[in-house]
A and B are shown apart, each in its own frame.
Chain A
Amino acid sequence: MRNTFFALLVAAGLIVAGRTVLAHHAFGAEFDPNAPIRLQGKVVRLEWVNPHTWIHIEVQKDGKPETWMVEGGTPNTLLRRGITKQTVAIGTEVVVDGYQTKDHSLKRANGRDITFTDGRKLFMGSSGTGAPRDGADPTEGGTKPPVKKPGGR
């Protein structure tokens, strides 16, 4: 029984990771492993589209604003959990690590890990609902509430 369990876990683990089977496209064909990046900036636009969501963020480079597009997954999965493109307010500050596209003239990258500035995953934290964190809820966690522009989008 122990062997059965571990063997199946390995099989299921590989599958759940979603990293060893088919995908819409091969990430290695699109992004450059020799161009790693870390971006920190404010969300300025969300393209809630298939096959991949693209999150546009504005970062500061040498004192000047620069807009990057970051690739995520299908929005359908998040829609089923009640998450829409309004969930993350325009102006929310995020941290992204990933790799730039092989075409370096494009400011695009994969969102290998997209988080709030306190490290919580973008669509897993309560602040993503747009409700301000005021410390009343001890389960909120984190210390840096996301920046939110009035009205959002």
Chain B
Amino acid sequence: MRKLIALAFAALAATTVVAQKPLSLRTPDGKPDLQGIWSNSTITPLERPQNVTSLVLSEAEAARMERATLERRERLNEPSDPDRPAPPKGGDGSTGAAGNVGGYNNFWLDPGDRVAVVDGQRRSSLIIDPPNGRIPALTDEARARQGARLKLMAGRGQYDHPEFRPLAERCLLSFGPTTPLVPNYFYNNNLQIVQTPDHVMILMEMVHDARIVRLNATTHLPRHMRPWMGDSIGRWEGDTLVVDTTNFPPQQNFRGSSENLHVVERFRRVDAKTINYRFTVDDPSTFTAPFSGEIPFRAMDELIYEYACHEGNYALSNVLSGARNEEKRLGTKQEKQ
């Protein structure tokens, strides 16, 4: 009997040892291993709705949100009337990017289906500071800048040259922000991290943008050097990777930011399947206060796919030739010259 008990204890001890053996979440040089393929998709909005006061949702609230999202998606995927006519002349009333012509089917989209969970809290917004979960008001300078941009655009004709078109339409940068890593709520919210002792590379699936972070650099590039995604330098603070990005080009902006945009990101691997990502955005010439957010990055067991944006970018030529067609139809200046 004593032998049996001893064996039982030995078996239990062996099980315990296996269960407690830490997963190898560190690189050979002892730093936390952030490498892998991650998704930042979520149904938690960036900003909290104005009449919601709490950052933290109850389990029941989160479950209802997730269930309602799935039900809505199922409704959108239901069959249509096979004898449906053409949509209405004058447009179908859709707004935003769908631009009164309706975009495309829901089955192309993959915006995520889960509420964001950070440190065990189910979140009502990704923004955690200011406490209302909303991006602070724009400064007067930012509003004036936006007005000037619109005026410039209208004056020279936004369809008169490929370079007057937005960066995303020209396949130069993602239509979601590259810094901070906020989801676009459409699709391809996936990223791959590769790290060495000297560099960290963040490859975003959307438009295949790769951001290279220089580790252990103490200064940013000279002010006049402005890479498409800004200049990122990083350091380890304990087990947290801190990335500091400045030198954004004027064409790249986050929510109306200026070239003075300064973003600090913190990557902390909390378990085998999760990185907690925290960002702080500061741009005194655009926002009346800095703001911060948190997003869980969930490990994926799938690949990042190529996004060869120039390969099939008919949209840009369609937009420009469409404008020429309208000019002909209306008999505007180009036709008369």
State which of A60-68, A104-112, A129-137, A145-153 sits at the interface with chain B.
Answer: A104-112
Chain B interface mostly: loop
B92 touches A (CB below 8 Å): yes
- Which residues in chain A, 96-114, are within 8 Å of chain B measured between CB atoms? 97-99, 101-106, 108, 110-114
- Encoded as 1 (CB less than 8 Å from any A CB) or 0, chain B from 86 to 109 comes to 111111101111111111111111
Could you say which residues of chain B place their CB within 8 Å of the CB of A49?
A: 308, 311-312
Query: In the complex, what distance in Å separates the CA atom of A97 from the CA atom of B109?
Result: 18
Could you say which residues of chain A place their CB within 8 Å of the CB of B288?
A: none
B64 touches A (CB below 8 Å): yes
Taking A15-B185, A23-B175, A52-B312 as contacts, is the C-beta distance between A106 and B91 under 8 angstroms? no
A19 touches B105 (CB 8 A): no
A33 touches B97 (CB 8 A): no
Query: CB within 8 A of B102: which of A21, A27, A38, A124?
Result: A27
Query: In the complex, what distance in Å separates the CA atom of A105 from the CA atom of B100?
Result: 21
Query: In the complex, what distance in Å separates the CA atom of A152 from the CA atom of B97?
Result: 35
Give 7 new A-B contacts, CB below 8 A, not counting A4-B124, A98-B101, A102-B326: A15-B185, A18-B106, A25-B316, A54-B314, A74-B108, A77-B188, A102-B318
Query: In the complex, what distance in Å separates the CA atom of A16 from the CA atom of B108?
Result: 12
Query: In the complex, what distance in Å separates the CA atom of A123 from the CA atom of B79?
Result: 11
B307 touches A50 (CB 8 A): yes
Query: CB within 8 A of A16: which of B73, B85, B175?
Result: B73
Could you jot down 16 A-B contacts, CB within 8 Å? A1-B58, A1-B61, A16-B111, A18-B185, A19-B98, A21-B184, A21-B185, A24-B309, A33-B99, A50-B312, A102-B318, A105-B321, A108-B314, A118-B79, A121-B78, A121-B80
Could you say which residues of chain B place their CB within 8 Å of the CB of A80?
A: 110, 302, 305
B103 touches A16 (CB 8 A): no
Could you say which residues of chain A place their CB within 8 Å of the CB of B49?
A: 7-8, 10-11
B161 touches A (CB below 8 Å): no
Chain A nearest CB from B256 CB (Å) reads 13
B187 touches A (CB below 8 Å): yes
Query: In the complex, what distance in Å separates the CA atom of A104 from the CA atom of B308?
Result: 27
A115 touches B314 (CB 8 A): no
B234 touches A (CB below 8 Å): no
Taking A37-B86, A80-B110 as contacts, is the C-beta distance between A74 and B99 under 8 angstroms? no
Chain A nearest CB from B157 CB (Å) reads 13
- Encoded as 1 (CB less than 8 Å from any B CB) or 0, chain A from 81 to 106 comes to 00000000000000101110111111
B107 touches A115 (CB 8 A): no
B176 touches A (CB below 8 Å): yes
B68 touches A (CB below 8 Å): yes
- Residues of chain A touching chain B, judged by Cβ–Cβ distance below 8 Å, are 1, 3-5, 7-13, 15-16, 18-34, 36-38, 47, 49-54, 69, 71-74, 76-80, 95, 97-99, 101-106, 108, 110-124, 141-142
Query: In the complex, what distance in Å separates the CA atom of A29 from the CA atom of B98?
Result: 10
B99 touches A27 (CB 8 A): yes
Could you say which residues of chain B place their CB within 8 Å of the CB of A32?
A: 101, 322
Taking A26-B97, A101-B322, A121-B79 as contacts, is the C-beta distance between A8 and B105 under 8 angstroms? no
B45 touches A (CB below 8 Å): yes
- Which residues in chain B, 245-281, are within 8 Å of chain A measured between CB atoms? none
- Encoded as 1 (CB less than 8 Å from any A CB) or 0, chain B from 144 to 177 comes to 0000000000000001000000101101000110
Taking A50-B307, A74-B187, A98-B102 as contacts, is the C-beta distance between A38 and B86 under 8 angstroms? yes
B102 touches A112 (CB 8 A): yes
Could you say which residues of chain B place their CB within 8 Å of the CB of A24?
A: 168-169, 175, 309, 315
Could you say which residues of chain B place their CB within 8 Å of the CB of A34?
A: 89-91
- Which residues in chain B, 315-331, are within 8 Å of chain A measured between CB atoms? 315-316, 318-319, 321-326
B79 touches A120 (CB 8 A): yes
Could you say which residues of chain A place their CB within 8 Å of the CB of B106?
A: 18
B205 touches A (CB below 8 Å): yes
Could you say which residues of chain B place their CB within 8 Å of the CB of A31?
A: 99, 101, 322
Query: In the complex, what distance in Å separates the CA atom of A117 from the CA atom of B88?
Result: 20
Could you say which residues of chain A place their CB within 8 Å of the CB of B186?
A: 18, 21-23
A8 touches B99 (CB 8 A): no
B52 touches A (CB below 8 Å): yes
Query: CB within 8 A of A95: which of B64, B82, B159, B305?
Result: B82
Chain A nearest CB from B186 CB (Å) reads 5
Nearest 7 pairs of A and B residues by beta carbon = A28-B99, A73-B108, A102-B322, A49-B312, A33-B91, A20-B96, A23-B97
Query: CB within 8 A of B95: which of A20, A76, A114?
Result: A20
